[in-house]
């Protein structure tokens, strides 16, 4: 099996270190919770292989080891980040924010 890296679309300029205030038209939504999904990569498998999966099965992801993680809101990539340790949990440090999300 040959593994090929994928080209990720450019999201825009890298995120600045300052915290951006939401545009006034979105200010009313500032306190609404939104669930984000962090995606490390994708895998493709035949249905038969999925049905025969058991503990210990390894799925090969499409992303290289040093690829950034996609931060998704629904089906939309809103940022990209790198995996970090936050105490005894994982976190994602944002390194790129989609254009139009920061004021």
83 domain-assigned: yes
pLDDT digits 0-9 by tens, 26-71: 778 888 999 999 998 899 999 999 999 999 999 999 888 888 999 9
Q: 36 φ, ψ to 5°? A: -105, 145
Q: What pLDDT, on the 0 to 100 scale, is given for residue 5?
A: 57
17 domain-assigned: no
End-to-end CA distance of the chain: 45
pLDDT digits 0-9 by tens, 16-31: 445 555 566 777 888 8
Domain count, the chain: 1
5 domain-assigned: no
| Angle of CA points 80, 29, 102, to nearest 5° | 40
Domain with residue 91: its CATH number is 2.30.330.10
Mean pLDDT of 78-90: 90
Which residue range(s) make up the domain with 36? Answer: 24-97
75 or 100: which leads in pLDDT: 75
Q: pTM score, two decimals?
A: 0.63
């Amino acid at each position: 099996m040959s593994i090929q890296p994928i080209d990720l679309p450019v999201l825009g300029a890298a995120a600045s270190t300052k915290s951006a205030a939401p545009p006034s038209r979105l200010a009313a939504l500032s306190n609404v919770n939104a669930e984000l999904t962090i995606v490390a990569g994708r895998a493709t498998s035949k249905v038969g292989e999925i049905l025969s999966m058991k503990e210990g099965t390894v799925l090969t992801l499409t992303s290289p080891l040093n690829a950034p993680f996609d931060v998704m809101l629904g089906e939309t990539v809103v940022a990209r980040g790198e995996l970090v340790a936050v105490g005894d949990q994982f976190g994602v440090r944002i390194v790129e924010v989609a254009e139009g999300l920061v004021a």
